[in-house]
Amino acid sequence: MNSFLWARAPIALVPVMLFLIALVQGDSFKLVRLRTVLILLAVGAVAAGVSYAINAYAYEHFAGGFDAYSRFISPWIEECAKAVIMLYLIRTRRVGLLVDAAIAGFAIGTGFALVENLYYLASRPDTSLGVQVIRGFGTAIMHGGTTTLLAILSITLFERRPNGRWAVLLPGILAAVVLHSGFNWLLVKPALAALAMLLVLPFAIYLVFRHSERTLRNWLDADLDSKARLLELVNSGTFLDSPVGRVLNSLRDRFQGEDLADMLCLLRLHGELAMRAKGVLLLRESGMADLPLDDETRDKLAELAQLERSIGTTGMLALRPLMMATGKDIWQLRLLSR
């Protein structure tokens, strides 16, 4: 790296990094660890490398000019490369809320932008300072913002359809591509494009963040309450007389006695683990250290997996209305085993 690059690189890299740090620090529940952020930055950087290779090949075979390519083709390639990582995070329940999805999305976009801006600086050393400022404040924030938008839309859809596959990503990819393409259209007036990104995206992300934290607090309250009530019913032996117990009882015609016993055990275990996960969130929100995963919780997680296998897909589908198994419910158990 030459001295020119050292001198100019901060302009292109620092704004987006500062915004990412602000997002991570602004998360009261500390859902995304520093290590995860660094990994996502690296993976985003790899996505930029992959996109570069695909773009180079596609541009060679593209009949139109550079403007048309940057408006209609490259946004698809670049947003899809970032979306693959997001899909992996969502499907494996590594993110489960708007807050952690937004941070993960912005980190991936930031990693992507860092490589893209460094490449741009290195390959065009004669670029004016103004363009580099625009790349730092505009293009980099845009990459973070589009992936955040993709993440927010996808996790919202996934929350409603936890078993959704690629379809949950499509609206997010479309929105990210439209935003990316719109930015590239505006590049005929680069200062305007950068200003638009700088004014709109961070503010929009901030609003989503605040809304998500409120939603998370409400969910914590409501779900802690309902799980505590469920466990109280099970422990007091009055579960079968409760509305949930009667629903479980109504499954007698379709399942054998031992399956129903397993289902009751699973409901109880799921309730206990869900409460443990909420304990982790409350500790983080209070700024206290996480508890190490104790043997009891580890055993419960193993038993839960065993019960899920034993009950089978049909049984789990029958149980779903009783377990309120939304994306968040599934994600919180993953939080325990991390």
Partner 1 sequence: MSDAAFSIRQGAHAGEILMSGRLDASQCDAALAFLNAVKQPEVIDLAGLDYIASAGLRVILMTVKRCNAQGSGVRLINVCAPIYDIFHYAGFDQILDISRAAN
324: left (phi over 0), alpha (psi -120 to 50) or beta: left
Is 299 one of the binding residues for partner 1 (CB under 8 A)?
A: no
Per CB under 8 A, contacts with partner 1 among 264-293 are: 271-272, 275-276, 278-280, 282-283, 285-288, 291
Is 94 one of the binding residues for partner 1 (CB under 8 A)?
A: no
State the nearest-atom distance from the C-beta of 276 to partner 1, in Å: 5
Is 241 one of the binding residues for partner 1 (CB under 8 A)?
A: no
Q: Which among 86, 162, 206, 187 has a CA at the least distance from the CA of 316?
A: 162
Tokens 């500790």 locate to 283
Nearer to partner 1, 51 or 297 (CB): 297
What span, in angstroms and rounded, lies between the C-alpha atoms of 312 and 331? 20
Is 302 one of the binding residues for partner 1 (CB under 8 A)?
A: no
Give the one residue of 4, 160, 163, 221 binding partner 1; rule: CB under 8 A: 221
State the nearest-atom distance from the C-beta of 31 to partner 1, in Å: 16
Is 238 one of the binding residues for partner 1 (CB under 8 A)?
A: no
Number of residues interacting with partner 1: please give it, by CB under 8 A.
26
Is 308 one of the binding residues for partner 1 (CB under 8 A)?
A: no
What span, in angstroms and rounded, lies between the C-alpha atoms of 215 and 97? 9
Is 337 one of the binding residues for partner 1 (CB under 8 A)?
A: no
State the nearest-atom distance from the C-beta of 290 to partner 1, in Å: 10
What span, in angstroms and rounded, lies between the C-alpha atoms of 322 and 18? 43
Is 214 one of the binding residues for partner 1 (CB under 8 A)?
A: no
Tokens 């670029």 locate to 127
Give the one residue of 297, 319, 323, 328 binding partner 1; rule: CB under 8 A: 297
Q: Which long-range contacts (CB under 8 A, 24 or more apart) does 192-199 make?
A: 193/134, 193/138, 193/142, 194/133, 194/134, 194/137, 194/138, 194/139, 194/141, 195/138, 197/137, 197/138, 197/141, 197/142, 197/145, 198/137, 198/138, 198/141
Nearer to partner 1, 67 or 221 (CB): 221
Q: Which among 80, 83, 85, 110 has a CA at the least distance from the CA of 20?
A: 110
Which two structure tokens, joined as six digits, stand for 77? 């390639």
Nearer to partner 1, 180 or 300 (CB): 300
Q: Which one of the spans 60-68, 118-126, 195-203, 229-237 is the region binding partner 1 (CB under 8 A)?
A: 229-237
Sequence-distant (≥ 6) Cβ neighbours of residue 53 within 8 angstroms: none
**Contact residues for partner 1, defined by CB under 8 A:** 217, 220-221, 224-225, 227-228, 231-232, 235, 271-272, 275-276, 278-280, 282-283, 285-288, 291, 294, 297
